[in-house]
Amino acid sequence: MKNVVSLKSLAKELNISVSTVSKSLNDSEEISVQTKERVKNLAKLRGYSPNPIAVRLQKQETMQIGVILPNIENPFFASVLKGIDELVSSSKYNIITFLSNESLEREKECLDYFTRGNVDGILICIAEETNKKKTFDHIINIKQKGIPLVLFDRIPMQPLGFDVVQVNDYDSIISAYQYLESKDCKNIAFVSSIPTLIVGRSREEGYLSQTNNPTVIAFEDLKELQLSIENTLKEGKIDGFIAADIEASLLCNSVIHKHGLEPGTDVSLIGYVNTAQNDLCYPKISYIDQHPQEIGKQTAKMLLLRLESKLEDVPASDIVLNTTITIGDTSR
């Protein structure tokens, strides 16, 4: 078995105390420059590295950041996680990622684990069930435990007292509506498979603010949603769709083709997509780019600032990121 290089073994070889070795490695002013050099040179020669658990106990830090995602099937969250990892990996922290799988109970379990001394800070996008039941006490209680927490993407309407990072969902849909309107679309419908989610409601409200004659097609059941889109198209009035999510975007695109209509000419569509997959498809769907990696980076940056400053009385921040519209083949 390979011998583990420890403070004790270094001290024995140098014929000095363990305390002197420890202080030398930590650049204590109590130790002479010559002794520090001897200790550091031998430590480097023997390949010594501090025991991470001991370091964490000494500093009372875990060096871990907990991330809770509602699901990983949605490529949006995978991209957010990539942004988080990119920023955190350049710091002294590591990330531990849990999935709530859109479950309130699972979300509570994740937070309970994190708050039992296993992480220094938490990043969370709340679960769909949490959102529907409007049950946030388990999140609010984190405040009393003194653990910094940042909410991202799905932000409750009621302020919870934490830092938040979100995109301008309401304004994004307004921009999409006004773009289609500028391209002579007269009857624009709004399609959503996420009508009960916070972001879904916000996007729908953005749409409703722009029209006096709304057509809202909103069902969580995808078969019911598809049937409703088809029936709406058969009426022959709609010349534009704004889709509130990836599933709604794909269904709209599919139904347009199924009815033999020319996307971008007969009926226009702006929605949300998996960017990488959209680039491989034809027609390419025009989409609202939320820049998910940037959301991840900004979320991680905000938490790292909290952790490094250690200031508890600083008011919570609300960062709202702008989206952009990328024009593909499905709009004029």
CATH code of the region 7-50 = 1.10.260
Are 62-167+292-321 and 169-290 equal in CATH topology?
yes
Instruction: Give the bridge partners for 242, in sequence order.
Output: 190, 270
Per-residue pLDDT tens digits for 81-101: 999 999 999 999 999 999 999
The CATH superfamily holding the domain 62-167+292-321 is Response regulator (3.40.50.2300)
The per-residue pLDDT for 274 is: 86
Q: CB within 8 A of 210, min separation 6: which ones?
A: 173, 174, 177, 178, 181
Where along the chain do its domains lie?
Answer: 7-50, 62-167+292-321, 169-290
Q: Contact 215/187 with Cβ under 8 angstroms?
A: yes
Per-residue pLDDT tens digits for 236-287: 999 999 999 999 999 999 999 999 999 999 999 999 998 888 888 889 999 9
Residue 21 has pLDDT above 90, yes or no: no
Residue 311 has pLDDT above 70, yes or no: no
Residue 57 has pLDDT above 70, yes or no: no
Can you give the pTM of this predicted structure? Answer: 0.80
Instruction: Give the bridge partners for 97, in sequence order.
Output: 67
Name the residue among 51, 55, 28 with its Cα closest to residue 39: 28
Looking at beta carbons, which pairs linking 98-101 to residues 24 or more positions away fall under 8 Å? 98/66, 98/67, 98/68, 98/69, 99/68, 99/69, 99/70, 99/71, 99/72, 100/68, 100/69, 100/70, 100/71, 100/126, 100/127, 100/130, 101/70, 101/71, 101/127
**Three-state DSSP class for 97?**
strand
- Would you identify the CATH topology of the domain 169-290? Rossmann fold (3.40.50)
Q: Contact 267/240 with Cβ under 8 angstroms?
A: yes
The per-residue pLDDT for 53 is: 54
Per-residue pLDDT tens digits for 130-150: 999 999 999 999 988 889 999
